[in-house]
Chains A and B, each alone.
Chain A
Amino acid sequence: DIQMTQSPSSLSASVGDRVTITCRAGQSISTYLNWYQQKPGKAPKLLIYAASNLQSGVPSRFSGSGSGTDFTLTISSLQPEDFASYYCQQSYSTLRTFGQGTKVEIK
């Protein structure tokens, strides 16, 4: 299995803050990395695919970067609707794996 480790596990931030979430892969996965947002009681929603490609309809304040083993999801200016959990997921291996998640809470 390719282990995906996110940091931090949770963070508190205010509306308007710049937020960065990190995902580290247990081995190099090139740019085979996706990011999802999940709100309580809802299904995950795709935000970013192939490390840096914004999914259609996702606000441009979301961006992704990285390659190899280290990746970043950045929210440039946190909005009230962005308080949620975020998961990275690798598709380099046939065995897909997710990070453990990062919960973004209101400060």
Chain B
Amino acid sequence: QVQLQESGPGLVKPSETLSLTCTVSGGSISNYYWSWIRQSPGKGLEWIGHIYYRGSTNYNPSLKSRVTISVDISKNQFSLRLSSVTAADTAVYYCARERYSNYGGGYYYYMDVWGKGTTVTVSS
């Protein structure tokens, strides 16, 4: 049973960098995409970006200039860095595994395993 666990500071000062790590247990980090998603208080879900285990990334254009996602296969971990944070970055941050199924030549991606989420507050 694959499990994901987010870790990192719960409080970050404005203008500083938010750093979170997601540890994958019970399975390999290989052969999947690994995503970060956030949810502001009382709001919906916002996809931040994802990384393939080999290191290629895709980011939400609205955050792209401030986001870096990296992977450490040896540790079975992947990480999120979000720079120059403001109060608008206060949210619950989730990591998730994105897998795919192949139907009729198409690759259908979906997030089938999620971490429990970690709350990050941006405040001085």
Q: A interface vs B, CB < 8 Å?
A: 1, 30-32, 34, 36, 38, 42-46, 49-50, 53, 55, 87, 89, 91, 94-101
**Cβ-defined contact, A50 with B117, below 8 A:** no
CA distance A87 to B44 in the complex (A): 8
Name A43's closest neighbour in chain B (CB-CB). B114
The answer to whether B47 touches A46, judged by C-beta atoms less than 8 angstroms apart, is no
- Does A101 contact B114, Cβ atoms closer than 8 Å? no
Cβ contacts under 8 Å, A43 to chain B: 94, 114-117
B47 touches A96 (CB 8 A): yes
> Are B106 and A94 neighbours in the complex by a CB distance under 8 Å?
no
Among residues of B, the one whose C-beta sits closest to the C-beta of A45 is B114
Q: State the 6 A-B residue pairs at the shortest beta-carbon distance, nearest first.
A: A49-B110, A43-B114, A50-B108, A91-B109, A96-B47, A98-B45
Complexed CA–CA distance, A91 and B99 (Å):
11
B65 interface hit (Cβ, 8 Å): no
B60, B109, B112: which has the most chain A beta carbons within 10 Å? Answer: B109
Interface size on B, residues (CB 8 A): 22
**From residue A40, how far is it (CB to closest CB) to chain B in Å?**
11
With A46-B111, A49-B110 already in contact, 8 other A-B pairs whose C-beta atoms are closer than 8 Å: A1-B61, A31-B108, A55-B112, A87-B44, A89-B47, A97-B47, A98-B46, A101-B45
Q: Which residues of B have CB within 8 Å of A30?
A: 106
- How far, in whole Å, are A31 and B24 apart by their CA atoms in the complex? 29
- In the complex with contacts A95-B58, A95-B60, A49-B44 CB distance below 8 A: no
A85 to chain B, nearest CB (A): 9
With A43-B94, A50-B103, A95-B61 in contact, is A34–B44 under 8 Å at CB?
no
Q: How far is the CA of A61 from the CA of B117 in the complex (A)?
A: 28
